[in-house]
Amino acid sequence: MHLLFATEIEAGIFEAMCNPPGGDWSGLSVMNFRAGDEYRWTSLPRVSAVGGKRPDHVIQLDSTKESVILLAIESKDAPAKIQATLGPALTTYVEKLLEMPPVAAKTADSDWQLWQSDDSPLRNVHIVSGGAFCWTAERDLTLCLDKCRFDFVMALEFDSVEQSALLHVRVGPQAEFLLSKIYDLAQRFGGRLKVQVH
């Protein structure tokens, strides 16, 4: 997930939070793609305090609308390890976090400054939940989508170093917009990553 969604501001992708290795799980950032401003939440609440589950990855997608689109993703090596009805818990965690004011912010041409307001700068946030795991079987995509109440699921299939990796994707109605974005991102790998929609 980190490699697929690694920060590509020019492509309208921002890695807001990513579970290590390769990422930063200490806080969550959200970009204003138009102005270049960045807002950062570093005091992440305990899960028990907000009744949700902290995602492994939060990815921000640029939107032509005035809303902020975030993907809240849980990643495991196997779909059976993802708990049932997890999707709404991921969404709840991010929603509750972003209702609080950020700790710091910076503009495109300034350094980080402490946020001085009691209000959050974000007004219209749309969160889509998803799961990611290693490929097992096609039926597991549907089972995980339904059991976990996700908006989308992705499974990576690795056959050998000589062959392309295959990203299997299944989406619900709330995440259909993701398909074209995933196809575009896969092109960056020069044929080493192919996408199959189920």
Looking at the chain, the whole-number percentage of residues with pLDDT higher than 90 is 63
Please report, for the chain, the start and end positions of each structural domain, with discontinuous segments joined by +.
9-197
* Residue 106 three-state SS: strand
At residue 30, does pLDDT exceed 80? yes
pLDDT given for residue 170 in this prediction:
97
| Sign of the torsion formed by the C-alpha atoms of 87, 186, 79 and 56 | negative
Top-confidence residue, 66 or 101: 101
Would you state the pLDDT for residue 86? 96
SS (H, E, C) 123-175: CCEEEEEEEEEECCCHHHHHHHHHHCCCCEEEEEECCCCCCCEEEEEEECHHH
Give the model confidence (pLDDT) of 45-66 as tens digits.
Answer: 777 667 789 999 999 998 767 7
pLDDT at 34: 85
What integer pLDDT is reported at residue 58 of this predicted model?
95
For the cut 90, the answer to whether the pLDDT of residue 67 exceeds it is: no
Q: What is the pLDDT of residue 188?
A: 87
Backbone φ and ψ of 105, nearest 5°:
-150, 160
Q: If we measure between CA atoms, which residue out of 58, 69, 60 comes closest to residue 11?
A: 60
pLDDT in tens, 108-123: 889 999 999 999 888 8
pLDDT at 160 over 90: no
The whole-number pLDDT of residue 46 equals 75
Q: Edge-to-edge, what's the strand order for the sheet holding 28-32?
A: 28-32, 37-41, 104-106, 113-114
Predicted pLDDT of residue 23: 61
What's the pTM value of the predicted model, to 2 decimals?
0.92
Kindly state the tokens that stand for 149: 């109440």
Q: Write the pLDDT tens digit of every residue in 112-156.
A: 999 999 998 888 899 999 999 999 999 999 999 999 999 999 999
Task: Work out the pLDDT band at 1, boundaries 50, 70, 90.
Answer: confident
